[in-house]
């Protein structure tokens, strides 16, 4: 069967933000089906190199075929980006000229018949990015105590009806498939519906828990900084507020450096800034992209540049002239 096409989100904006140059060496930590990776490797020729990582073996197989023409300039690794440093050491791929994280799910995963990521199609409750690893969504749904399930839905899904939904889930066990779970969630809303599908937040929470998404992101961000050459860039596209908050707080902390309590008059931690934030406001897709690719509507991009103590500061993206600005819509409020 032909794989569904994933339309890369904020493609031009993210590749421009990375400042891809010929001969450069880049990491795409979420290579997916290779949309961003293709644009990056094309712009980095001649002499460029790309290391593409994805936890999903199916995505790696699709991208291996798609980028085969680039031969050894592209290396693809089926691994978790939480292991970023050790992957780069294994492949002697450091320091690097740019790192991209385009978080979330690919169309391949959302539309996969056996993956269970989508609340719109019948599938087993799996949700593992790498189907050979760990706990499934079904195991969580059918075995967690009600209070733990409610906490998980509240923390990872920001679901205000977490207790109601958990009560219904426990009362209807065993729940064997995505649409069975959707039916149980709908019952717990008793016909009341908001702007989003009632199962959106529960599915987000389960997916985050199954794949340990928030911890992996924190860990990858920390490792990414150490791999970047001075004045080179980290670009992160996130799709929900929990991810975006982690990225925003991380970049702010790295820009500040010092982690001493504010009441101390003098710095005792000795930490120096490692990043300069280039997107003072988050970048979101332009209206045309949101219209033509509805999956882009929640995307938020943040960009930072590696600084070394005493080195010059980066140029804010919004000051880089019309090419970088076109189609970039900065979010009005943080």
49/293 with CB nearer ligand SAM: 293
Say how many residues make up the chain.
Answer: 334
Pair type for strands 96-102 and 25-28: parallel
CA distances from residue 136 to 43, 144, 204, 297 in whole angstroms, order as listed: 39, 12, 14, 28
CB of 307 to ligand SAM, least distance (A): 26
CB of 170 to ligand SAM, least distance (A): 29
CA distances from residue 192 to 182, 189, 206 in whole angstroms, order as listed: 14, 5, 22
Residues 211-230 that bind ligand SAM (CB under 6 A): 216
Q: Does 32 bind ligand SAM (CB under 6 A)?
A: yes
Q: Does 49 bind ligand SAM (CB under 6 A)?
A: no
Q: Which stretch binds ligand SAM (CB under 6 A): 17-25, 29-37, 179-187, 228-236?
A: 29-37
Q: Does 30 bind ligand SAM (CB under 6 A)?
A: yes
CB of 233 to ligand SAM, least distance (A): 16
How many other C-beta atoms are found inside a 10 Å radius of the C-beta of residue 11? 19
CB 39, CB 48: distance < 8 Å = no
Among residues 104, 116, 157, 314, the one that binds ligand SAM under rule CB under 6 A:
104
Q: Does 53 bind ligand SAM (CB under 6 A)?
A: yes
DSSP sequence for 283-304: EE--HHHHHH-GGGTT-EEEEE
Residues 129-168 that bind ligand SAM (CB under 6 A): 129
What CA–CA distance (Å, rounded) separates 136 from 125? Answer: 7
For residue 51, the SS3 value is: strand
Q: Does 112 bind ligand SAM (CB under 6 A)?
A: no
Among residues 34, 48, 116, 285, the one that binds ligand SAM under rule CB under 6 A:
34
Q: Does 16 bind ligand SAM (CB under 6 A)?
A: no
Among residues 106, 162, 188, 296, the one that binds ligand SAM under rule CB under 6 A:
106
Q: Minimal CA–CA distance to 14: which of 214, 289, 243?
A: 289
Q: Does 77 bind ligand SAM (CB under 6 A)?
A: no
Which residue is listed with tokens 């710095």? 267
Q: Which stretch binds ligand SAM (CB under 6 A): 28-36, 155-163, 251-259, 271-279?
A: 28-36
Q: In this structure, what token pair is assigned to residue 252?
A: 């702010």
DSSP state of 317: G
CB of 311 to ligand SAM, least distance (A): 30
Pair type for strands 228-238 and 96-102: parallel
CB 205, CB 117: distance < 8 Å = no
Residues forming the site for ligand SAM (CB under 6 A): 6, 8, 30, 32-36, 53-56, 59, 80-82, 102, 104-106, 129, 216
């Amino acid at each position: 069967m032909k794989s569904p096409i994933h339309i890369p989100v904020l493609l031009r904006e993210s590749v421009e933000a990375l400042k891809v140059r010929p001969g450069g060496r880049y990491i795409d930590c979420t290579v997916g089906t290779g949309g961003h990776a293709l644009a990056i490797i094309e712009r980095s020729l001649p002499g460029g190199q790309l290391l593409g990582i994805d936890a999903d073996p199916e995505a790696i197989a699709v991208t291996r075929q798609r980028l085969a023409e680039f031969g050894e300039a592209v290396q693809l690794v089926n691994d978790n980006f939480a292991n970023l440093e050790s992957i780069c050491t294994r492949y002697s791929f450091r320091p690097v000229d740019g790192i991209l994280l385009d978080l979330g799910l690919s169309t391949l995963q959302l539309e996969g018949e056996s993956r269970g990521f989508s609340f719109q199609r019948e599938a087993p409750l799996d949700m593992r990015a790498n189907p050979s690893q760990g706990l499934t969504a079904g195991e969580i749904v059918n075995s967690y105590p009600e209070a733990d399930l409610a906490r998980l839905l509240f923390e990872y899904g920001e679901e205000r009806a977490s207790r109601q939904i958990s009560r219904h889930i426990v009362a209807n066990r065993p729940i064997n498939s995505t649409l069975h779970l959707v039916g149980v969630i709908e019952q717990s809303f008793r016909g009341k519906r908001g702007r989003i599908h009632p199962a959106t937040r529960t599915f987000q929470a389960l997916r985050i828990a199954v794949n340990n998404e928030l911890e992996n992101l924190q860990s990858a961000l920390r490792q990414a900084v150490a791999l970047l050459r001075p004045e080179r860039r980290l670009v992160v596209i996130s799709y929900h507020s929990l991810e975006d908050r982690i990225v925003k707080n991380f970049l702010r902390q790295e820009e500040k450096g010092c982690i001493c309590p504010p009441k101390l008059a003098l710095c005792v931690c000795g930490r120096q800034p490692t990043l300069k934030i280039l997107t003072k406001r988050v970048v979101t897709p332009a209206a045309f992209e949101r219209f033509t690719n509805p999956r882009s509507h929640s995307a938020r991009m943040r960009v930072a540049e590696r600084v070394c103590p005493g080195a010059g500061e980066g140029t804010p993206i919004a000051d880089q002239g019309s090419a970088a600005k076109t189609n970039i819509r900065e979010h009005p409020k943080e």
